[in-house]
Chains A and B, each alone.
Chain A
Amino acid sequence: MMDGRDFMKGNEALAIGALKAGLNAYFAYPITPSSEVPETLAREFKSPEYPEFRMFLQAASELEAISMVIGAASTGAKVMTATSGPGFSLKQEGMSYAAAMELPFLVADVNRAGPGLGNLGPEQSDYLQATRGGGHGGYRNIVLAPNSVQEMAAFPGLGFSLAFKYRNPVVILADAFLGQLKEDIVFPKIAPERFPTPWAASGARGAERHVLASLHLDFEDQSRHAEHLARKYEEVESAEQRSDSYMASDADVVLVAYGVVARLCRRAVKELRERRVRAGLFRPVTLSPFPSNDLKALVDKGVKKFVVVELNAGQMILDVRLALEGRGQIESVHKMGGLLPAASDVVRRVEALSK
């Protein structure tokens, strides 16, 4: 693999992107449509190009995989796992513990359709599970939503920065379409970031030892810990909101979409502009924290209508409502089951709304 231009699938880009960000270890259980992630990493394991990639291991289940991730991350290593819905559910156990123990690592969820087994097509139905902290107890993940193969390659680096800065799991929420999509990309030539890990459990130093535990039987103790986490999430909320917009500042109606849906909405915006509808696009890049400030700024600029387009029955729209605090009209366009809405569908809906 050379630096420079590459042509590959989103899942492959995620794997190579993680390696270029200095990935030390990968533990996972295979599941479609994420399997190219472990397959790519298995191929690159022990390659002289990635000397820091010390461990690739296929686990016996996602429960085992995420616990291996916990173990490796406890030593301060850069660790990743990837999965899709059914496996993401099993990983919630470990992610709750990791949030409590403040462990940094990456979990990629290549979202497939449906509850249960569903199917292998794209959906965005894990939105609430990912953004709310899908396991028990109150905690938050940081959630990044790539919308191109280029971003699939870049977000592991960003993800590690955020994970280590805040000592928190980071989810890269992609979907089956992005995972399988092939595009031209360029890997930036940057050295992997190094993060200090004075908290890591990797051997006591004299009297100083490191205990990573999530049990605080004393109520005052647990309360202090919960407040500490809550303050951390607030800090993330105020410092890490990221979004992108396209022709939104003078728009009458703004489409709100992330991931692959944002791309077809961009096409819809172009078409709408050609038809003299002043449309724009707002794309959350971080789903958690949700980029409420930037979205609110659009209302301040005079945008009155928002159309939330997503591949679920209406999950992100809840965050849009929270962000807009009752201002502006909010409509939903959705598609499920592995199907994508056509840009023309979106155009038709927006036109109907702007009449």
Chain B
Amino acid sequence: MTVVQGAPAAEYEVKLGRLSTLTGRPTHYCAGCEHGILTRLVANAIEELGLRERTVLVDSVGCSVFAHDYINTDAVQAPHGRAPAVMSGIKRVRPDLMVFAVQGDGDAVSIGLLELLYAANRAEPITIFLVNNAIYGMTGGQMAPTTPEGMVTTTTPQGRDVAETGRPLDATKLLAGLDGPSYVKRVVLPIAPMGSTDLYSARGPLEGAKSVLNAFKVQMRGGFSFVEFVSTCSINWKMSVLESKRFATETLAKLFPPGLYKDKLGVEKG
């Protein structure tokens, strides 16, 4: 059956068992959804840094709106797209707190693009994790700013026509083009099916874990950090979980290439 394989990054320790940064509530995320994986990675990093009592999570609007049900820190819910502004407000009066959000691609790259760009440009010391599943997950699968050309969604039943709706927006490239951010990275998060074998590579989650930790470290050193996670939404893509992993790691990863786009403080070098 399924074997998860991948070389664990030497500097990263996966904490097993119950974390005080997790509430332990059963998840509402669909099976195989990267929102769930990211929750664990975030909790793990907060624990590792010993920051639970100094952290404020800002909920965005999308499938991550209930992030506070799982992440056991203080939390504030932002209006749709406004998480970076809410985070800026918190951080501006309480620079001692660590502030982060998990935003969807609709939340961050469509309705909240101004808030994202301005927070990044001001170099707010905050951390944003973008779950890019190329679709509006929570609202049932409408076109997102990141939807690839030709992809069928409930509002593009014939496939996305880029002549009508423009090309997919690349938030990582946009932010990397600004002077403000200190750390901009894109990770293809899903576990990846390895060819036609029944083996899977866990490189995505492991790379993700390292990036989450680094992003928090950048904030602690006063920088703006942003990590985009190319993800899946099998339910709205109308694919099996396996097909969705394949689509994300093979097709989406070409449109949104992974990589370290910016690392002003050199945290990846250690």
Contacts and interface: CB of A to CB of B under 8 A. Distances in A.
A354 B98 CA distance: 67
A71 B54 contact: no
Interface size band for A: 35 or more
Contacts of A65: 85
A61 B56 CA distance: 24
Given A67-B115, A75-B94, A202-B94, A97 B85 contact: no
A62 to B, nearest CB: 11
B252 to A, nearest CB: 29
Interface in A66-118: 67-75, 77, 79, 93-94, 97, 101
B78 A67 contact: yes
Nearest to B82: A67
A160 to B, nearest CB: 15
Contact of A202 (B74, B78, B114): B74
B93 interface: yes
Given A72-B90, A204-B53, A212 B75 contact: yes
A24 B90 CA distance: 12
B74 A71 contact: no
Contacts of B52: 204
- Decide if the interface of chain A is mainly helix, strand, loop or mixed: mixed
A129 B217 CA distance: 44
Contact of B68 (A55, A57, A75, A213): A213
B247 interface: no
Contacts of A25: 89, 92-93
Nearest to A24: B93
Interface in A194-227: 201-206, 209-215
A213 B79 contact: no
Interface string B62-106: 000110100011111111001001111111111001000000000
A71 B65 contact: no
A97 B72 contact: no
A74 B86 contact: yes
A70 B75 contact: no
B77 A214 contact: yes
B93 A204 contact: no
B93 A211 contact: no
B118 A213 contact: no
Contacts of A214: 77
A258 B262 CA distance: 56
Given A25-B92, A59-B85, A204-B52, A211 B79 contact: no
A233 interface: no
A324 interface: no
Q: By CB atoms of chain B within 10 A, which of A59, A97, A211 has the most? A: A211
B130 interface: no
B55 interface: yes
Nearest to B118: A60
Nearest to A77: B93
A55 B74 contact: no
Nearest to B74: A201
Contacts of B97: 75, 202-203
Contact of A64 (B56, B76, B90, B115): B115
B228 interface: no
A68 B90 CA distance: 7
A72 B92 contact: yes
A134 B224 CA distance: 34
A218 to B, nearest CB: 12
Contacts of B86: 67-68, 70-71, 74
A74 B90 contact: yes
Nearest to A97: B79
A214 B89 CA distance: 18
A165 interface: no
Given A64-B82, A64-B118, A213-B68, A75 B77 contact: no
Given A71-B58, A203-B56, A93 B92 contact: no
Contacts of A71: 58, 76, 78, 85-92
A199 B233 CA distance: 35
A215 B93 contact: no
Interface in B140-158: none
A206 to B, nearest CB: 8
A214 B88 CA distance: 19
A69 B89 contact: yes
A63 interface: yes
A271 to B, nearest CB: 49
B93 A54 contact: yes
Interface string A41-69: 00000000000001101011101110111
B196 to A, nearest CB: 41
Contacts of B68: 211, 213
B59 interface: yes
A26 to B, nearest CB: 10
A114 B83 CA distance: 32
A77 B73 CA distance: 19
B90 A203 contact: no
B72 A67 contact: no
Contact of B74 (A57, A61, A64, A204): A204
Contacts of A164: none
Contact of A97 (B53, B77, B87): B77
A55 B85 contact: no
Interface of A: 24-25, 27, 54-55, 57, 59-61, 63-65, 67-75, 77, 79, 93-94, 97, 101, 201-206, 209-215
Closest 3 pairs between A and B when the two form their complex, measured CB to CB: A71-B89, A67-B85, A68-B89
Given A97-B79, A204-B52, A209-B73, 7 more contacts: A64-B114, A68-B92, A70-B82, A71-B89, A72-B93, A79-B89, A212-B77
6 contacts: A64-B115, A70-B76, A73-B89, A97-B78, A97-B79, A203-B54
